[in-house]
Structures are given as structure tokens and as C-alpha cells.
Amino acid sequence: MAALAMQREVGAAQSTPEEDGNIVVVNAFCSAFVVPMDWENVAASLSSDCKYRASQTIPLVEGPDAIVGLLESFTENATAVEFEIVDTWARGPVVVNDRIDRFVQPDRTIEIPVVGIFYLVDGKITEWTDFVFDFSG
């Protein structure tokens, strides 16, 4: 009996229509990060009480205006921005994506490996946390 309970196929689970819709919202949101930045479009994906933590070491900010302000500080000198999505999956209202965030500045290009975790309600991002991985040390 225990052997039957343990026989579970490992691999990609089928997603529900809700999960597919949430993935579409998050992927479209990440695709909006291009220069010139359309901050109105970025903010439109966020709920009015959205909470964002840009990394595990940066304090949480709340609300689209505060979130856009923080994001503007990351992109103000960028001549190009790209959120390259490596992998995305969803479980109910939670979407996880593995990304490489690129910021091209006049004197350098910054590539940041990120795992983003998004929580959605009614097609809007209500919570977003990025976990940034530093492989330099």
C-alpha cells in the first residue's frame, strides 16, 4: 500500500486555466521592462495595495507609486533593460519565475539571476518578492 502511495509521477504538473492566466499576467509584466520604460503600464499590473521586496536585503515597499519609484531608481541610467524569463510555473495564485534581469548602462552591463515570487488576486499582482542570487563570492 505504501508503495502505491509513493508512486507519483515526477515532472511538470498540468496547470489550471487560472494558473495559465496568472502566468500570462506575470510574463506580460516582466516583458514591460524595456527602455523607454512605460511606468504606467508597469503599475497597471499591480493592485493598489501591492507589496514589493526587491531582494531579501531590501525593505518592503507598498503601493504602485512607491514600487515604481524604487524601480525607477534601478533603471534611471539604463540604456536597455530586459527581464529574461528562464522558467515560469504557477500553483493557484502563486507564480514563480526564474529570470536574468539585465540592465545595460553606459559603462557596464549588469546581469542579475533572480527568482521572482508573485501572488495574484483577480488578475493583479498583490505581492512580489525577488530573491537575488550573488554567485560572486
| Residues in contact with 57: Cβ distance below 8 Å, sequence separation at least 6, in sequence order | none
Dig out the grid coordinates for 44 from the structure.
497597471
Give CA 36 to chain center in angstroms.
19
What is the per-residue pLDDT for 76?
87
What is the per-residue pLDDT for 13?
67
Only one residue has cell 530573491, namely: 131
pLDDT digits (tens, 9 = 90+) for 25-49: 999 999 999 999 999 999 999 999 9
Rounded alpha-carbon distances, angstroms, from residue 68 to 5, 31, 45, 119: 48, 15, 11, 18
pLDDT digits (tens, 9 = 90+) for 50-61: 999 999 888 999
Find out if CATH 3.10.450.50 is the number for domain 18-132. yes
Q: What's the pTM value of the predicted model, to 2 decimals?
A: 0.86
Provide, rounded to the nearest whole percent, the portion of the chain with pLDDT above 90: 79
SS3 43: helix
Contact 128, 114 (CB under 8 A): no
What is the per-residue pLDDT for 136?
55
Roughly how many angstroms between the first and final C-alpha of the chain, as a whole number?
Answer: 47
